[in-house]
Amino acid sequence: MSTPRTVLLTLGRLPKALDLARAFAGAGWRVVVAEPARRHLTGASRAVSRSVQVIAPARAPDRYLEDLLQIVAEERVDLIVPVSEETMHVAALHGRLPVGTRLLTPAAAVVRRVYDKWEFVRTARAHGLAVPDTALVGDAIGTAMGTAMGLKTPQPANWSAIVQDGPYVVKPRFSCGGRGVQFFDAGVAPAMPAASVVQAFVPGRLHSTCSLVHQGRCVGTVVYRAVLLSGTVAVAFEQVEQPAIDAWVERFAAAEQWNGFLSFDFILTEGGQAVAIECNPRVTSGIHFFDAVDLAAALVNPDSVRHLRKRPEPRLQQFWASLTEVQQAFRQHGWTAPFRQALRGLLATPDVSWRRDDPWPLLGMPYTAWDIITAARREQLSFGEVATRDLDWHP
* pLDDT level of residue 327 (50, 70, 90 thresholds): confident
Residue-level pLDDT at 177: 67
pLDDT per residue as tens digits for the range 117-131: 999 999 999 999 999
Q: What is the mean pLDDT of the chain?
A: 89
Name the more confident of 300 and 383: 300
Question: Are 351 and 317 contacting, i.e. CB atoms less than 8 angstroms apart?
Answer: yes
Name the more confident of 69 and 147: 69
Residue 149 has pLDDT above 80, yes or no: no
Residue 142 has pLDDT above 80, yes or no: no
* pLDDT level of residue 330 (50, 70, 90 thresholds): confident
Average pLDDT on 141-147 reads 38
Residue-level pLDDT at 145: 37
Name the more confident of 334 and 109: 109
Average pLDDT on 366-381 reads 87
Name the more confident of 283 and 171: 283
Shared-domain flag, residues 228 and 297 = yes
In a domain, residue 118? The reply is no
Shared-domain flag, residues 210 and 280 = yes
Q: How many folded domains does the chain comprise? A: 2
Shared-domain flag, residues 304 and 210 = yes
Which of 149, 179, 200 delimits the end of a domain? 200
Residue-level pLDDT at 196: 85
In a domain, residue 242? The reply is yes
Helix, strand, coil: what percent of the chain each, to 5?
40, 25, 40
Q: Which residues pair with 280 in a beta bridge?
A: 263
Shared-domain flag, residues 277 and 212 = yes
Residue-level pLDDT at 202: 95
pTM given for the model:
0.91
CA distances from 342 to 30, 105, 107, 351 (A): 39, 37, 42, 15
In a domain, residue 360? The reply is no
* pLDDT level of residue 233 (50, 70, 90 thresholds): confident
Shared-domain flag, residues 217 and 304 = yes
Average pLDDT on 40-58 reads 97
In a domain, residue 4? The reply is no
Residue-level pLDDT at 138: 62
3-state secondary structure of 268: strand
pLDDT per residue as tens digits for the range 175-229: 876 777 888 888 877 766 677 899 999 999 999 999 999 999 999 999 999 888 7
In a domain, residue 74? The reply is no
Residue 141 has pLDDT above 80, yes or no: no
Task: Give the sheet arrangement for strand 30-35, strand by strand.
Answer: 50-53, 30-35, 6-9, 79-81, 102-103
Shared-domain flag, residues 196 and 211 = no
CATH number at residue 243: 3.30.470.20
C-alpha 238/C-alpha 225 separation (Å) is 6
The whole domain housing 233 covers 204-317
Average pLDDT on 375-393 reads 85
Shared-domain flag, residues 192 and 225 = no
Residue-level pLDDT at 157: 44
Which of 288, 317, 346 delimits the end of a domain? 317
In a domain, residue 372? The reply is no
Question: Are 54 and 31 contacting, i.e. CB atoms less than 8 angstroms apart?
Answer: no
In a domain, residue 310? The reply is yes
Residue-level pLDDT at 1: 56
- The closest alpha carbon to 260, from 207, 222, 216, belongs to 216
3-state secondary structure of 362: helix
Residue 344 has pLDDT above 90, yes or no: no
CA distances from 270 to 161, 209, 246 (A): 23, 19, 17
* pLDDT level of residue 147 (50, 70, 90 thresholds): very low
Shared-domain flag, residues 222 and 190 = no
% of the chain at pLDDT higher than 70 = 92
Residue-level pLDDT at 154: 46
Shared-domain flag, residues 144 and 248 = no
In a domain, residue 164? The reply is yes
Residue-level pLDDT at 260: 96
Which of 296, 317, 338 delimits the end of a domain? 317
Shared-domain flag, residues 226 and 285 = yes
Shared-domain flag, residues 151 and 256 = no
Shared-domain flag, residues 189 and 221 = no
